[in-house]
Amino acid sequence: MNRISEAAPAVRLAAVQEKAREAISQHATLPKIEIGIATCGIAAGALETRSAFEQALSEFNIKAYIHPVGCIGHCYAEPLVKIHHPDSGFPPIFYHEVHPGKARMLVKQFLGGGDPCFEHIYGAAQTNDLIPSVSEFARFNREVRVVMENCGRINPEDLFEYIAAGGYKGLVSAMEMPPEEVIRKINESGLRGRGGAGFPAGIKWRMARDAPGTGKIVICNADEGDPGAYMDRTILESNPHQVLEGMAICAHAIGAQKGYIYVRAEYPLAVRIITRAISQAKESGLLGNTILGSALTFDIEVFQGSGAFVCGEETALIQSMEGYRGMPRCRPPYPVEKGFDDRPTVINNVKTLASAPAILMKGPEWYRSVGTEGSPGTAIFSVVGDVVHSGLVEIPMGITLRELIFDICGGIPKKKKFKAVQIGGPSGGCLPERFLDTPIDFDSLKQAGAMMGSGGMVVMDEDACIVDVARFFIDFTQNESCGKCTFCRIGTRHMLDILKRITEGKGKEEDLMLLQRLGEDIRDGSLCGLGKTAPNPVLTSLRYFKEEYDAHILEGRCPGLWCRHLIAYYIDLDKCARGCDVCVGCCPTDAVFTTSTRKKGIDQERCVKCGECMTACPPDYNAVKKVSPAHLAPVIPRPAGSPGEH
Amino acid sequence: MAGPDMDMVEIVINGKNISVKAGRPLLETCLSNGIYIPNLCHVEGMTSPPASCRLCFIEVEGIPAPVPSCVTTVEPGMVVSTDTAAVRKLQRTALKLLLSVHDIDCRNCPVNRKCPLQQIARFLKIGLKSAPFETRLKKDLLDDRHPFFNYYPNRCVLCGRCVYLCHRKNGYPKISFAGRGFGAFIRIDLPLPDDAVSCHECRECATSCPVAALRLK
């Protein structure tokens, strides 16, 4: 390659950048309404909000540009809208939970009348003298965004917006270097695989480059399946081009010409957006033959998986792509030697690939400056469960769980106490309060017994039952086990049976030893990563929450007041209000009766413990109580001859 | 993986020096040298063994945990043990798990006394009982939808020999794994292409089934 052709990609990209600038400048003068329309936004009603804005704009005859963007990660505030009305003198302003009524009001008063409706403001997008800026909130200022930098800022369906935000510059820098140099940079950056195991990406790329064979392949693993995790989906829906760019960089580095994105069919919006992004990138010469006028040829196809959790395991993923049943096989040979179609294949997670452009653009030293020595860069978590500011958070590696859960995500709602955090989904572990000061990085979490996983984090308050949580995850893995190997197929089923028994109050003392031993054998004996890690939720909870298991087995008591067989509802007669009938009407089994003093009681034999009465009882009375073990509920006699008596 | 270019190398198995072919799976190597290792899913000469029954564990010096011997190949100088405590622990659990979903009715079973489960249980010195695990049998006792053979889900150990041998003989499998988790089974009523080899002439699956889960009608 001579010097002139080396410069070609940068020149070609500059031409596309020019086009992008032109396209974007068309809307530059109008007020801008940004609405987050990824799956989470849509679920919260973002599409209705958008039509309400459109309707109101035409009704009040106001001109504004509605800018659909991806997800910024603040799920608790969806539908989240940012309005920039330069003529009003206000900076761009975020509004949270903008439902159609609020949308109409904002058009009328802010865009029409210049009043930004202070009481509805979430925060300003920039620091200013008029309105507190969101950058003062920990949820914004403690995040460091590498992968999600442009998520929720650009229209994911418009290549030009990504280009205008500096997109594809990383690819151009990569193309200006020999492949070995790219691999060296990735290696130096210390980037570790974000799929969960944390294998160094540079080493994987190097092995694929060195592997003999032609037709090498890059696969982006977007088969995200942990309950409560949705990082990969959001990235694909909010900034697909960054993933494509990362794949192209990898292709250049390892010498691949073909790439696949393995995404589950249950992510229809992600499939649509990524497919569209691929065709746009091809039209602009950023993918396909002779990328940006160079000798690099790389094409990407979307492969829709059928949603089997185990297909996120790389060998099962390959089997599934080859048309076989998604069952893992023994490694070695590793996919980098013999992968899809027996060709050397790099399989990287969405977040790993999406980190590559920034590393190429800003350099490995910069990447290493974020995060810790052993785990450089950022981690993306979907923090869900009993936490105030749930959603996607991108944080530098090394901050503690406490900082993430309490400082950034606002802690536990309703003044309840923290009980546990489950990290890494069904493969991860449950950590108690004393681990809150554990730094978040691959090695520390593993040491604590959990794992980084791909980024699912479920926070649980004092009302959670750890045994039931373990049961839930084992139920999940048992359902998702491919059934190939003995330990995972049958072993997890026995674990599930034992856990069910315990949550029903039928546990035996020796069950805990059996769970422990069986769990260890499943861990040591299973074929693939899914099976080896399946017992983790049980093993960690046995280690850290043994007293909860003991309470279930020895006392018939569920400390979280959760397990239906071990609790009872009763009505506190001191608090119950005479004449109030709310709980009677909502009881599906006529278990609530009126006492001789015109207060209420619950017939324990009829009660199915649905908890409706507790929800219905007005907070001023708060008379319905839960208790465990069930026999502690005071017995209130049903008056003879009362309705429903049997 | 047998080939003419394979060299003979010296390895140590259970303390004895043995000269064996390099590159051959240790399971086959041990079996042909008279060292028994429990196994169910392996078929001699497989190029990529499924390693699914999880019985053929061995320990190799330098590798911290037991590994399946069907996918571990002979390398010069290896020191192999087939009977360590860790190996036996995993093997016993695996067999008990298999027995816990197996209809243990040996007296009325066509392969009584020829059954590998009986053989392995005797070898591992455990009874034909699943305790401490409770027996969990499937509801369906018989699948008779295939014209030539019957399938007994509660006998099946899902070793996959039938699927493998059918595939090897016919170029594609006419039966397959189906279902997930505990509910996984061998599906015998797959829709087949028109040129499907007639099962009537083949019967490889039924004759290869070690536990009489597939029986000719």
- A479, B71: Cβ pair inside 8 Å? no
The alpha-carbon gap from A196 to the nearest alpha carbon of chain B, in Å, equals 22
For residue B134, give the chain A residue with the closest CA: A494
Verify that A220 and A352 share a domain, yes or no.
yes
- Report field, pTM of the whole predicted structure over 0.90: yes
Q: In chain B, whose CA is at the least distance from the CA of A474?
A: B181
- Cβ contact A43:A234 at 8 Å: no
Q: At what angle do helices A466-480 and A492-503 cross, to 10 degrees?
A: 150
Cβ–Cβ below 8 Å for A491 and B97: yes
Cβ–Cβ of B97/A484 closer than 8 Å? no
Q: Would the CB atoms of A486 and B48 count as touching at under 8 Å? A: no
Q: How many CB atoms lie under 10 A from the CB of residue A590?
A: 13
Q: Quick: pLDDT tens for A555-580.
A: 999 999 999 999 999 999 999 999 89
Contact B54 A489 (CB under 8 A): no
Give the domains, in start order, of chain B with CATH numbers: 8-84 (3.10.20.740), 138-217 (3.30.70.20)
Q: How many CB pairs (< 8 A) connect A and B?
A: 104
Which of B97, B136, B181 is the closest to A486 by Cβ? B97
Q: What is the CATH number of the domain that holds A593?
A: 3.30.70.20
- Which residue, of A136, A168, A197, is where some domain finishes? A136
Query: Residue B158: its chain A contacts at CB < 8 A?
Result: 483-484, 486, 489
| Among A488, A489, A513, the residue to mutate for chain B (most B Cβ within 10 A) | A489
CB spacing of A524 vs B65 below 8 angstroms? yes
- Which CATH number covers residue A174? 3.40.50.11540
Contact assignment for B132 to A514 by CB distance below 8 Å: yes
- With respect to residue A270, please indicate whether it lies within any of the assigned structural domains: yes
Last residue of a domain, one of A312, A347, A368: A368
CATH no. for residue A109?
3.40.30.10
In this structure, are A77 and A163 located in the same domain? Answer: no
Q: Are A426 and A358 part of one and the same domain?
A: no
Same domain, A430 and A477: no
Mutation pick from B75, B93, B134, B187 vs chain A, by most beta carbons of A within 10 Å, is B93
Contact at CB, A327 and B177, closer than 8 angstroms: yes
Q: A489 and B158 in contact by Cβ < 8 A?
A: yes
Reading chain B (217 residues) residue by residue, the pLDDT tens digits are 444 456 899 999 999 999 999 999 999 999 999 999 999 999 998 988 999 999 999 999 999 999 999 999 999 999 999 999 999 999 999 999 999 999 999 999 999 999 999 999 999 999 999 999 999 999 999 999 988 899 999 999 999 999 999 999 888 888 999 999 999 999 998 887 766 667 878 888 999 999 999 999 8
Note whether A478 contacts B: Cβ–Cβ < 8 A: yes
pLDDT at site A452: 87
Which residue from B minimizes the CA distance to A309? Answer: B180
**Alpha-carbon distance A239 to A127, whole Å?**
25
- The structural domain count of chain A equals 5
* Chain B positions touching chain A (beta carbons under 8 Å): 48-55, 57, 65-66, 68, 71, 86, 89-90, 93-94, 97-98, 100-101, 132-134, 136, 157-158, 160, 176-177, 179-184
My answer on whether A339 and A400 are in the same domain is: no
Chain A nearest CA to B13, separation (Å): 21
A177 assigned to some structural domain:
yes
**Do residues A450 and A471 share a domain?**
no
What pLDDT is attached to residue A196? 84
Q: Look at B94 and A510 and tell me if their CB atoms are within 8 Å.
A: no
- Across the interface, whether the CB atoms of B93 and A518 are under 8 A apart is answered yes
Residue among B47, B106, B107, B57 nearest B85 (CA): B57
DSSP strands (E only) in A494-616: 568-571, 592-594, 600-602
> By C-alpha distance, which of A235, A214, A308 is closest to A266?
A308
DSSP-based three-state secondary structure for A43: helix
Asked if A330 lies within 8 A of B184 by C-beta distance, the reply is: no
Q: Please indicate, yes or no, if residue A176 is contained in any of the structural domains.
A: yes
Cβ of A112 under 8 Å from any chain B Cβ? no
Question: Strand pairing of A391-396 and A378-385?
Answer: antiparallel
Exposed / middle / buried, residue A158 (Cβ in 10 Å: 0-12, 13-18, 19+): buried
Give contacts of A473 with chain B, Cβ < 8 Å.
none
Query: Which residue in A478, A484, A494 is closest to B52 by CB distance?
Result: A484
Range of the domain at A615: 567-631
Residue of A nearest to B64 (CA): A524
Q: End of a domain among A414, A444, A461? A: A461
Residue A457 in domain: yes
Tell me which residue in B51, B65, B89 faces A330 most closely, judged by beta carbons.
B51
Residue A204 and residue A331 in one domain: yes
User: What is the SS3 string spanning A467-496?
Assistant: HHHHHHHHHHHHHHCCCCCHHHHHHHHHHH
The C-alpha atoms of residue A317 and residue A196 are separated, in whole angstroms, by 15
In a domain, A477, yes or no: yes
Q: What is the pLDDT of residues A455-488, one digit of tens each?
A: 899 999 999 999 999 999 999 999 999 999 999 9
Question: Do the Cβ atoms of B176 and A482 come within 8 Å?
Answer: no
Residues A187 and A327 in one domain: yes
Residue of chain A with shortest Cα separation from B156: A486
Q: Give the distance from residue B62's alpha carbon to the nearest chain A alpha carbon, in angstroms.
A: 17
According to the model, what pLDDT value does residue A644 have?
A: 56
Residues of A in contact with B184 (CB under 8 A): 481-484, 489
Q: What is the ipTM of this complex?
A: 0.95
**CA-CA distance, A364 to A171, in Å (whole number)?**
15
Cα angle B170, B172, B176 (rounded to 5 degrees) comes to 115
Question: How many angstroms away from the CA of B97 is the closest CA of chain A?
Answer: 6
Closest B-chain CA to A484: B52
Residues A213 and A288 in one domain: yes
What are the Cα distances from residue B5, in Å, to A133, A642, B89? 73, 92, 37
A510 vs B contacts (CB less than 8 Å):
132
CATH of the domain at A483: 1.20.1440.230
Mutate to test the interface with B, among A490, A493, A512, A520 (most CBs of B within 10 A): A490
**CATH code where residue A414 lies:** 3.10.20.600
pLDDT attached to residue A7: 57
In a domain, A643, yes or no: no
Burial of B195 (0-12, 13-18, 19+ CB in 10 A): exposed
Query: Are residue A297 and residue A163 in the same domain, yes or no?
Result: yes
- Within 8 A of A491 by CB-CB distance, chain B residues are 93, 97
Residue ranges of the alpha helices (H) in B58-198?
A: 85-100, 116-123, 161-170
Give the residues across from A216 on adjacent strands: A256
Q: Report yes or no on A642 lying in a domain.
A: no
Q: Is residue A310 part of a domain?
A: yes
CB contact under 8 A, B71 and A330: yes
| B94 to A525: CB separation less than 8 angstroms, yes or no | yes
Is A328:A316 a contact under the CB 8 Å cutoff? yes
Question: Which residue among B54, B132, B136 sits closest to A485, beta carbon to beta carbon?
Answer: B54
Q: Average pLDDT, whole number, for chain A? A: 93
**Cβ-defined contact of A483 to B101 (cutoff 8 Å):** no
Q: Are residues A276 and A352 in the same domain?
A: yes
Give buried/exposed letters for A322-332 (b at 16+ CB in 10 A, else e): eeebbbbbbbe
For A238-284, how does the pLDDT look when each residue is reduced to its tens digit (9 = 90+)?
A: 999 999 999 999 999 999 999 999 999 999 999 999 999 999 999 99
Sign of CA dihedral A158, A159, A161, A165: positive
For residues A526 and A453, state if they share a domain.
no
**Chain B contact for A524 (CB, 8 A cutoff):** yes
Of the candidates A133, A156, A130, the residue with the CA atom closest to the CA atom of residue A72: A156
Residues on chain A touching B57 (C-beta within 8 angstroms): 525
- Residue numbers in chain A where pLDDT is lower than 50: 1-6
Distance, in Å, from the CA atom of A535 to the CA atom of A430, rounded to the nearest integer, reads 11
Inspect the interface and report whether the beta carbons of B181 and A494 lie closer than 8 Å.
no
Q: What is the 3-state secondary structure (H, E, C) of A110-165?
A: HHHCCCCCHHHEEEECCCCCCCCEHHHCHHHHCCCCCCCCCCCCCCCCCHHHHHHC
